[in-house]
Structure 1
Amino acid sequence: MRHWLPPRRHLSYAPPRPSHPPPSHVPSENAWLALLGSCPNVRSLARVHGWLVAHGLAHNLLCETKLASTYASLGDMGSARMVFDALQSPDLYSWRVMFRWYLEMEQYSEAVGFYRRMRRCTKGMDDLIISGVLKACAASNNLSEGEKVHCDVVKVGNPDDFVVNGLVCMYAKCGEVERSRKLFDEIPERNVVTWTSMINGYVQNDHPEKGFILFNRMRNVGTEPNEFTLRSLLAACSKLDALHQGRWIHGCIIKRCMTMNSFLVTGLLDMYAKCGKISDARGVFDELHDVDLVSWTAMIVGYAQEGCPIEALKLFSDIRWADMVPNSVTVASILSVSAQLSEPDLGKAIHGLAIKRRLEEEIEVRNALISMYTKCSMIDDASCIFGRNLHKDVVAWNAMMAGYAQNGFGYEALLLFRRMRLEGPFPDAVTFVNVLSACACLGSLWLGCACHAYVVKYGALSNVYVGTALLNLYAKTGDAESARSIFDGMMNRSKVTWCAMIGGYGVQGDSGHSLSLFREMLGEDLQPNDVAFTSILSACGHTGKVGEGQTYFDSMYRDYKILPSMKHYTSLIDLLSRAGRLEEALEFIQNMPLEADAGALGAFLHGCQLHSRMELGEVAMRRMLELHPQNASYYLLMSNLYASQGRWDDAAKIRELMKARGLNKSPGCSSVEMDFRLCSAA
């Protein structure tokens, strides 16, 4: 028995019964049932299975059902199904056991298919099976099969609360929230599970405000919420940016002495992070007595999503949680941190960890790897991972498309979109945003118009992100009139929409419209973002409004808590330099907290040329060459500075010095549309 392992074929059919009775030393039925339950792995179970087959004991219905259940409990659903399929006359109990294991192993599509066969082969369908298949339909987003199950419920009649709640939940998770609400309204006596199912349905279908309205009704009729109700409401707060309501729910959890399990903790962490209170989220995390993998990962995700990559990395590497084994969500979050920090070496190390933990094939890890490599400008590595991915979802296509557009490969992004239409999933709003961004990257107005028509055809124009991307496309391709038409026609404008239109006017050099629209935005009580301030400072520079520009710059952090970036410092340097206040600009460069880059120095040198103060520009450039002798951009600026003054020998010396030090600058590329064709030249 110890050394014999049956061939695999013995598991797929029932061999003939032996003509002789089993030997007297064969254990009793209870003994071998206990033996099946004690098998620690599939290998040992297969040996016991072979012994039972050899002694003619595997033809007992109870034994075969136990065998199938044990295979399933050890994770081998294929062998479990083969044992079940070999049953000649399975009873309802056998069907239930197999169906339950499909649900337990989260193989929901297989569970739905198994239910169809069960419905054909058996007559008895109890409420437990019905509620289970409704759960499977909801999880697999199988609305058509869910509707058939609903018909079965109507035929049987008198469903219990679990079935009714399952129907409400199934329709909501399949996006049919109105049908879900209709069923909900027809229920005469609703318990907390019914209310929670409907509230959760509203939240999941992006109607969080309706979820709160229903919660108020629930309280008015005297139904007390449970932890699942409050978890759904925390998700609603995250979507609504409702910090006050989120803190009230936190208070309810404490007041009701609910156990702070990972289910509630992740909701609280997500709510505080999404509401911009990452310090409060960390306070909740630090108060936990037992930090598990779920809460640890949730805190890392919160840091990553809120733009705190260093804190996320510190938490990930904290020795206090060195025993934590990261899961696919943890790895995906740290990959996004690598992208935020533009640290490809860190990303490669995490990629190695994913391979070591056998997480590379997890869908969220694959998508995060594509995004990380593209954001680190390693487009070939991202393309390699994308190509190896046999089961690409819409997120993978979008990540690769966005990567091409962000790295200046707009044409490749459009080719990928064409391929996606032929063999990939149906595009979503993010896809259209990426396509429009690719057209803007190419500067192609006619391609943008074609994509505009495609967006209208598929009814995606009502999406605020798609509308903003379309507006941005027209603004960047020189059609400010069409951009303003899109802006005026949008029913819902986000802060980003306003800033994109302001930036569009800035790109066109229309400083007057840019400033007036900015003032109008402030009148709407909308908080400008960093892009809007860059455009406004540029507009002030082109119109010579130095005082107004300095006022806006000072208000960035004082009024809006926006830390100025190098783009903002460059805009202010340009503003001062254009106005001839070169000493003030040079003092600003020397005292600002960030080190001036080539863009900032270029703005200063342009002012020096305008006002014939080349001695100041030369002093600044020589200082930067001393500090950064390996930066090719500074050599080019210095060379161009000399060339603009006709000092060709000095310009040639700088070029020779640059060549001697092995420095080079990638050639630029420009494109122009001619006869509906995009022509590029280096």
Structure 2
Amino acid sequence: MLLRAKAYSRHLAFTELNDPSLLREKLLSLLKKCPSTKTVQQIHTQMLINFIQKPNFLLIRIIDLKDFNYASLLFHQISRPNEYAFNVMIRGLTTAWQKYSHSLKLYYQMKRLGLKPDNFTYPFVFISCANLLALNHGVSVHSSVFKIGLDEDDHVSHSLITMYARCGKLDSARKVFDEIRERDLVSWNSMISGYSKMGYAKEAVELFGRMREEEFLPDEITLVSVLGSCGDLGDLVLGKWVEGFVVKNKMDLNFYMGSALIDMYGKCGALVPARRVFDAMVNKDVVTWNAMITAYAQNGLSNEAIMLFNRMKYAGVNPDKITLIGVLSACASIGALDLGKWVDKYASQRGLRHDIFCGSIDDALKVFEDMPVTNEVSWNAMISALAFNGRAHEALLLFERMSKEGGAARPNDVTFIGVLSACVHAGLVDEGRRLFDLMSSSFGLIPKSEHYSCMVDLYARAGHLSEAWDFVERMPEKVDEIVLGALLGACQKQKNTDVSQRVMQLLLEIESSNSGNYVISSKIFANLKMWDDSAKMRALMREKGVSKTPGCSWIGIDDPKQSNWK
């Protein structure tokens, strides 16, 4: 890399600078202005040619440009790096590249060389420990800080609070906070943020109250932490006060603040003010859209969540895994299988499927178990998430818990869609039948089309086609063509002509222009060597002017449907 830079250096005319000190000053001045790694390489080459040894200046600029390989190469070429070089590199590893384990290793290397870490070293070492959840290392480093008398340094104290809080040692973090003699706004923010992020919402709000009593004016960082705690506590009064403070002090309603307000209102069930804040934001990033979609999904307004998701796509904002988790939750609540399948495919294509369908469920379970109060929405969301992610037995166990421990949160229509879906995915026919009967006998619920659809799907997958058709005939509303299509596919596998002919007749009545129905019907007859019937189906297709449709997928956009051609 350094040799290649020599070609660029020919364009730099420094030959007229005969005075070495003038040349050094000129190069260092230019170094500060370098806009890219390439120009730094040119300066670096000139410094090597002219025997100018200023590696620390180079290191600072390379770190600012976030070139990890170049910075690492340069650092390891320094024969005797001093404290300053180590501090600069540790800061870069922590802040520019988030390579926290490298940062910690460099700290120990620094000590082995007999160099003395200082108040510019320790804050970044503690931040690294915090992100690695390396409590043992953090405690050891804290003891070193105490021995050399740096425990009263503000920057060191603030990073110590963060480290202990992230590692779950809130008592130790609070002890550090209480021992700060003259607290500033950063001190308060560090402790409030530590409480809020670790789920100690009550303590965060109480400390915020003390901060106000001591007449410290909160900034954006304070308010965002407090809003998170308001949402966890359902403290709508304080949440509204925060919004009033933002408006009164003409604070910028940016992505950070706007998303926090939407999230708080959503957790408090106040969706009208949440949407008001959302609509008032001129610029919205993916976090903002996620906050509003999640607010709708968590409060049972699944249709609104899906509509907003579609508008998000129209706005050209690419969904991330948080978006997709919220949309999947909405799909699970209303049985929107088509959109759910689209999300699954989208996530798979972008390598997000494991994050969404694996890790997120365990995270969601942890959040659910830690919730101080649960309602129908939270129980249903968790049951549906487990059901739609192949964890049927856990979904059914959670349903049993809800029935016994849910208190005022009783199983409803949406709950039974979740547990019946679990039975479908696991092939639990007897359990599905029991739960379907339980709806009316134990909970006084009248099964709806969605519940009948689940039963049809359950029986069809298990090969019980006559029972599946029986549920089709018992449906209280018009049967869904998707359900019939799935049943027809099952008939094709089982080579069942009796049920398949009834399904075909019903399908052609309600969806006479869908070429797939004719094609599948013709294939069923052909597989059974009923050639005349197969030919008649093809002829009927031509007679009605139905042509075979090119492959496409459909996504519901608000009310109409929009095609997504592949």
User: What range describes the TM-score normalised by the shorter chain of this pair?
Assistant: 0.5 to 0.7
Alignment of 1:66 with 2:57, yes or no, is yes
Equivalent residue for 2:121, pick from 129, 139, 144: 129
CA apart distance, 1:297: 0.9
**Does the aligned pair in 1 maintain the 2:504–2:517 contact within 8 Å?**
no
* 3-state SS of paired residue (1:127): coil
Alignment of 1:103 with 2:98, yes or no, is no
| Counterparts in 2 of 1:570 and 1:629: CA distance versus 1, 3 Å | farther
Residue of structure 2 in register with 1:148 after alignment: 140
Equivalent residue for 1:501, pick from 396, 400, 416: 400
| Counterparts in 2 of 1:349 and 1:214: CA distance versus 1, 3 Å | closer
**Does the aligned pair in 2 maintain the 1:241–1:274 contact within 8 Å?**
yes
State the one-letter code of the partner of 2:61.
Answer: T
| Counterparts in 2 of 1:52 and 1:539: CA distance versus 1, 3 Å | closer
Residue of structure 2 in register with 1:552 after alignment: 445
| Counterparts in 2 of 1:121 and 1:334: CA distance versus 1, 3 Å | same
Separation in structure 2 between the aligned mates of residue 168 and residue 241 of structure 1, nearest angstrom:
26
**Does the aligned pair in 1 maintain the 2:262–2:278 contact within 8 Å?**
yes
Equivalent residue for 2:40, pick from 38, 45, 55: 45
Residue of structure 2 in register with 1:54 after alignment: 49
State the one-letter code of the partner of 1:260.
Answer: L
**Does the aligned pair in 2 maintain the 1:269–1:285 contact within 8 Å?**
yes
**Does the aligned pair in 1 maintain the 2:439–2:446 contact within 8 Å?**
no
CA apart distance, 1:72: 1.9
Separation in structure 2 between the aligned mates of residue 432 and residue 299 of structure 1, nearest angstrom:
24
Q: How does 1:98-497 map to 2 (within 5 A)?
A: 98-105=89-96, 106-121=98-113, 124-157=116-149, 159-187=152-180, 190-220=183-213, 222-277=215-270, 280-289=273-282, 291=283, 295-305=284-294, 306=297, 307=302, 308-318=305-315, 330-333=319-322, 342=339, 366=351, 368-370=352-354, 398=359
Deviation digits for residues 185-228 of structure 1, max 9, x if unmatched?
44455444333323322332233233334334444555543322
CA apart distance, 1:91: 4.3
Q: How does 1:559-638 map to 2 (within 5 A)?
A: 566-567=450-451, 588-590=476-478, 597-598=483-484, 622-626=505-509, 627=511, 630=516
**Does the aligned pair in 1 maintain the 2:192–2:208 contact within 8 Å?**
yes
**Does the aligned pair in 2 maintain the 1:475–1:501 contact within 8 Å?**
no
| Counterparts in 2 of 1:658 and 1:141: CA distance versus 1, 3 Å | farther
- Gaps in structure 2 of 5+ consecutive residues: 8-14, 332-337, 368-381, 421-431, 457-469, 489-499, 539-566
Residue of structure 2 in register with 1:13 after alignment: none
| Counterparts in 2 of 1:162 and 1:311: CA distance versus 1, 3 Å | same
Separation in structure 1 between the aligned mates of residue 39 and residue 311 of structure 2, nearest angstrom:
44
| Counterparts in 2 of 1:622 and 1:193: CA distance versus 1, 3 Å | same
CA apart distance, 1:244: 4.6
Residue of structure 1 in register with 2:18 after alignment: 24
**Does the aligned pair in 2 maintain the 1:95–1:118 contact within 8 Å?**
yes
State the one-letter code of the partner of 1:110.
Answer: H
TM-score by length of 1: 0.53
CA apart distance, 1:656: 5.9
* 3-state SS of paired residue (1:51): helix
Alignment of 1:5 with 2:2, yes or no, is no
**Does the aligned pair in 2 maintain the 1:598–1:633 contact within 8 Å?**
no
Separation in structure 2 between the aligned mates of residue 160 and residue 98 of structure 1, nearest angstrom:
21
- Gaps in structure 1 of 5+ consecutive residues: 8-20, 353-364, 376-394, 403-427, 434-464, 477-482, 484-495, 503-516, 555-563, 573-581, 603-616, 640-650, 662-682
**Does the aligned pair in 1 maintain the 2:255–2:288 contact within 8 Å?**
no
**Does the aligned pair in 1 maintain the 2:265–2:274 contact within 8 Å?**
yes
Aligned CA RMSD, in angstroms, stands at: 5.4
TM-score by length of 2: 0.63
- Structure with greater contact order relative to length (CA < 8 Å, sep ≥ 6): 2
CA apart distance, 1:166: 1.9
State the one-letter code of the partner of 1:530.
Answer: D
CA apart distance, 1:32: 1.2
Separation in structure 2 between the aligned mates of residue 186 and residue 252 of structure 1, nearest angstrom:
30
**Does the aligned pair in 2 maintain the 1:238–1:274 contact within 8 Å?**
yes
Deviation digits for residues 577-618 of structure 1, max 9, x if unmatched?
xxxxx9xx879434x8x668349999xxxxxxxxxxxxxx99
| Counterparts in 2 of 1:312 and 1:166: CA distance versus 1, 3 Å | same
| Counterparts in 2 of 1:659 and 1:90: CA distance versus 1, 3 Å | farther
CA apart distance, 1:432: 11
Separation in structure 2 between the aligned mates of residue 544 and residue 344 of structure 1, nearest angstrom:
27
Residue of structure 1 in register with 2:552 after alignment: none
* 3-state SS of paired residue (1:28): helix
| Counterparts in 2 of 1:529 and 1:631: CA distance versus 1, 3 Å | farther
CA apart distance, 1:619: 8.7
CA apart distance, 1:235: 1.7
* 3-state SS of paired residue (1:203): helix
**Does the aligned pair in 1 maintain the 2:189–2:222 contact within 8 Å?**
yes
State the one-letter code of the partner of 2:31.
Answer: L
State the one-letter code of the partner of 1:309.
Answer: I
Q: What is the number of equivalent residue pairs in this alignment?
A: 457
CA apart distance, 1:521: 7.1
CA apart distance, 1:542: 4.5
**Does the aligned pair in 1 maintain the 2:231–2:268 contact within 8 Å?**
yes
| Counterparts in 2 of 1:187 and 1:65: CA distance versus 1, 3 Å | closer
Separation in structure 2 between the aligned mates of residue 351 and residue 140 of structure 1, nearest angstrom:
29
| Counterparts in 2 of 1:541 and 1:46: CA distance versus 1, 3 Å | closer
State the one-letter code of the partner of 2:33.
Answer: S
| Counterparts in 2 of 1:197 and 1:541: CA distance versus 1, 3 Å | closer
Alignment of 1:85 with 2:91, yes or no, is no
**Does the aligned pair in 2 maintain the 1:309–1:337 contact within 8 Å?**
no
Separation in structure 1 between the aligned mates of residue 127 and residue 167 of structure 2, nearest angstrom:
11
State the one-letter code of the partner of 1:195.
Answer: W
CA apart distance, 1:631: 5.0
State the one-letter code of the partner of 2:477.
Answer: I
| Counterparts in 2 of 1:601 and 1:245: CA distance versus 1, 3 Å | farther
Separation in structure 2 between the aligned mates of residue 344 and residue 587 of structure 1, nearest angstrom:
24
Separation in structure 2 between the aligned mates of residue 247 and residue 117 of structure 1, nearest angstrom:
50
